[in-house]
Structure 1
Amino acid sequence: MNVAMLLYPGLTQLDLTGPFEVLARLKELTIHLAWKDTGPVTDSGGLRLLPTVDFAQCPPADILFVPGGPGQLALMDDTVVLDFLCAQAAQARYVTSVCTGSLLLAAAGLLTGYRATCHWLSLEQLALFGCEPVAERVVVDRNRVTGAGVTSGIDFALVLAELLLGRERAETTQLSMEYDPAPPFAAGNPQQAPADLVAQLRERAAGFQTRRWEAARRAATRLGLYADKDF
């Protein structure tokens, strides 16, 4: 099975590399890191990653995967990227994402009518695209599988492994990775974290989130899905 994983400038690398670590352990899968060209791509933190194929070389995907990150913003109206996602999704067995990668899928019209999740700061933006936002770590709706923010990518990929190859293979993969999370603090989601920390993070992210909302509204309007200017 071919896995097409979108790689783009400004992504959050763990959105990609977490699922990659899980899926690369499944010998039935061949992973293709796809971008417009095969030159190095720099993530939001400065890590350089190398695509393995350009869009034209990428084989038809059985599994299409889109990571999130700040660079997602610039792609919400990028017709080359959105057309690639639509073409790959047309025959894919599963169409998937982690974090704000779901906003890119939504901008391509691929999540309308589906339940989906996203990073908690951006979750409600999915509603602009006729999606049902769901505040869960991993959401499966028919052949759409979406993960929440960043670290949920490992959980997402293990759920996908079970869908593809059964629970035993997924559990064996989890064990081989010693994936046994025990976070040192109970601050990993806005429901558990102290309210002042949540408020601080919202304030720090407010400017960028305003731009993300604007990009989501433009994309939803282009798709004919957004008409309520007060949303």
Structure 2
Amino acid sequence: MSHMTTRRHLLRGAAATAALTMTSAAGTGTAQAAKPAQAAPPTPAAAGTMLDIGILLYDGYSLLDPTGPAEVLSRLPGATVTMVAQKRGPVRTDTRDVAVMAERSIADVDHLDVLLVPGAGNRGTVAAMENQELLRWIRRIDRHSQWTTSVCTGSLVLAAVGLLKGRRATTYWASAEYLRTHYDVTYLPERYVRSGKIITAAGVSAGLDMALYLASLIAGDDTAKAVQLAIEYDPRPPFDAGDAAKADPELKQRALRLLAESQEQEVAPKSRRG
């Protein structure tokens, strides 16, 4: 897989629009069960069970992808949520405007109960998919994790590791065609999709829905509902424009253009900030 080929197909262009056309008839908003590729995942945790949750950060991730699920999962009784990166320290987002602190390096972490891999723009996703050290670490953590999850194009990183082979999964809407055609994956245009112990979420905000679903699997429906109320997650957006299956081609292109411009503007000045 060449660097240029990946960039050409990952998020932009006619291929993404074609993928949306092919999948627009499918429903959205519900988790889909796939044939498990392994033993059944664990049942909801008993009270007092300690849970080590690690969220991977890498250069160019999208801010809400790790922080939205962290807001949900950090409220679970007995859970600790830690940001992990190749090196400890601040890791910048796709827009380079914000950095989140990684408290642990991947060298420090050899076991997690839950692993979450966020998505990113082209810069971050491509680099992560080609980063063999990160891919080896994800593969090693997945061997013993209770749950391995992703948000947005984080599913492409999981696919690059080989964890989605033969599975159903979702991803960011404009990356659906790439996931479907480059890997042995059945793409579903859902907010989140469970396949055995792996749960993938669609783009950015879908990570909140996925995290609440995961919370219900870990701690039960009542606790997950209480977390949802605690963070007052009751979305009522002013526009009905968040479903790519209902969006017209012009809006899709505008959305992708806004993403690209926000990720590429002022590259030199922002890069000097460290």
**TM-score bin (small chain):** 0.7 to 0.9
What aligned pairs does 1:43-192 form with structure 2 within 5 A after superposition?
A: 43-45=93-95, 46-70=97-121, 71-127=124-180, 128-192=182-246
Given that 1:61 and 1:92 are in contact with CA atoms closer than 8 Å, whether structure 2 keeps it comes out as yes
Structure 2 SS opposite 1:115 = strand
TM-score with structure 2 setting the length: 0.72
Instruction: Pick the structure with greater CA Rg.
Output: 2
Given that 1:102 and 1:146 are in contact with CA atoms closer than 8 Å, whether structure 2 keeps it comes out as yes
Identical-pair percentage = 39
Q: Could you tell me how far 1:75 is from its partner in structure 2? A: 1.4
Given that 1:37 and 1:54 are in contact with CA atoms closer than 8 Å, whether structure 2 keeps it comes out as yes
Q: Distance in 1 between matches of 2:215 and 2:257?
A: 37
Kindly indicate whether residue 251 of structure 2 is the aligned counterpart of residue 197 of structure 1: yes
Given that 1:114 and 1:144 are in contact with CA atoms closer than 8 Å, whether structure 2 keeps it comes out as no
Given that 2:153 and 2:175 are in contact with CA atoms closer than 8 Å, whether structure 1 keeps it comes out as yes
Q: Distance in 2 between matches of 1:173 and 1:3?
A: 16
Q: Distance in 2 between matches of 1:7 and 1:44?
A: 11
Given that 1:3 and 1:63 are in contact with CA atoms closer than 8 Å, whether structure 2 keeps it comes out as yes
Counterpart of 2:60 in structure 1: which amino acid? G
Kindly indicate whether residue 87 of structure 2 is the aligned counterpart of residue 37 of structure 1: yes
Given that 1:187 and 1:194 are in contact with CA atoms closer than 8 Å, whether structure 2 keeps it comes out as no
Q: Which runs of 4+ in 1 moved over 6 A?
A: 203-207
Q: Distance in 2 between matches of 1:3 and 1:202?
A: 31
Q: Distance in 2 between matches of 1:30 and 1:174?
A: 18
In structure 2, stretches of 5+ residues that fail to align are 1-50, 262-274
Structure 1 SS opposite 2:149 = strand
Structure 1 vs Structure 2 CA RMSD: 1.7
Q: Could you tell me how far 1:195 is from its partner in structure 2? A: 4.0
Q: How many residues align?
A: 207
Q: Distance in 1 between matches of 2:126 and 2:250?
A: 27
Instruction: Report the CA distance shift for 1:9/1:206 in structure 2 as closer, same or farther (over 3 A).
Output: closer
Kindly indicate whether residue 72 of structure 2 is the aligned counterpart of residue 18 of structure 1: no
Instruction: Report the CA distance shift for 1:149/1:98 in structure 2 as closer, same or farther (over 3 A).
Output: same
Q: Could you tell me how far 1:100 is from its partner in structure 2? A: 0.2
Q: Distance in 1 between matches of 2:254 and 2:83?
A: 35
- Equivalent position of 2:53 in the other structure: 3
Q: Could you tell me how far 1:191 is from its partner in structure 2? A: 2.2
TM-score with structure 1 setting the length: 0.85
Given that 1:186 and 1:193 are in contact with CA atoms closer than 8 Å, whether structure 2 keeps it comes out as no
Q: Could you tell me how far 1:144 is from its partner in structure 2? A: 0.8
Q: Distance in 1 between matches of 2:94 and 2:258?
A: 17
Q: Distance in 2 between matches of 1:160 and 1:175?
A: 16
